[in-house]
Each structure stands twice: as structure tokens, then as C-alpha cells.
Amino acid sequence: MWGRVAICIAAGAAAVVVWYLLSPRSNRRQAGRVLEWIQAALAGKGQVVAVRWLGPSIFHVVLRLSASLFQHPALMVRLIPRQNPFQWLRQWRRGEPATVTFEADLDSAPAFNLPA
């Protein structure tokens, strides 16, 4: 009885370790697909200048755009955190997607205020 429990615990721990070791590869592959999508979306109107990883599932993409409306344009990409299988499962069950946030400075202040 206890032998089976020990085997199940060891197998579960081994599965978590393998998941943890393979998750960076999966995140890098998914990041490559996201970067291809970003390049296609820019379609000659800009280019990716730099990519900097901020965490196992978060990276910052610096852009150069041909239009001068924005200063220091960038994207913050948050992938589903695959490094933790329990957190990944929770987000997958909730249907939470990966997110891309555009960041930039404007040339001048907007003529309106956004409500809080």
C-alpha cells in the first residue's frame, strides 16, 4: 500500500520537474510565434528593435515605427505562465489568454482627460 503511494508521489514529482525543465523551451517557441505575428502586423510600418525577457513568461519588445506620433514605442507580452503546471492549469481552465500591451510616450499631451 505505502509502496504504491510512494511511487505515485515520486511519479508526480518527476512529472512536475520535467514540466518545469521543458516550459522555457515552450515559452521561447511561443514567443517566436508572437514575434512573427508582431512583425507581420507592422507590415513595413515598423520593426522590432530589441527583445528583453523580464521573467519566464514575460518579455518586452522595443519597436521602431515609421510614424512619429509615438516616442519610445514598445510592447509588453505576457504569456500564460507555463513554468508552474498548477498555475497554468488554473489559467487554462479560466480561459485567460496571453496579453500584449502597447506602451509609448506621446509627442504632446492629449486634449482630454480619461475618467478614472
**Mean of all residue pLDDT scores within the chain:** 84
pLDDT at 43: 87
pLDDT in tens, 4-58: 877 777 777 777 777 777 667 778 888 899 999 999 998 888 899 999 999 888 9
As beta bridge partners, residue 75 has 61, 102
Give the torsion sign (CA, 35, 37, 38, 40).
positive
The DSSP 8-state label assigned to residue 39 in this structure reads H
Give residue 95's pLDDT band: very low, low, confident or very high (50, 70, 90).
Answer: confident
Give residue 116's pLDDT band: very low, low, confident or very high (50, 70, 90).
Answer: low
For residue 98, pLDDT over 80 is answered with yes
pTM of the full predicted structure?
A: 0.73
Looking at the chain, the whole-number percentage of residues with pLDDT higher than 90 is 30
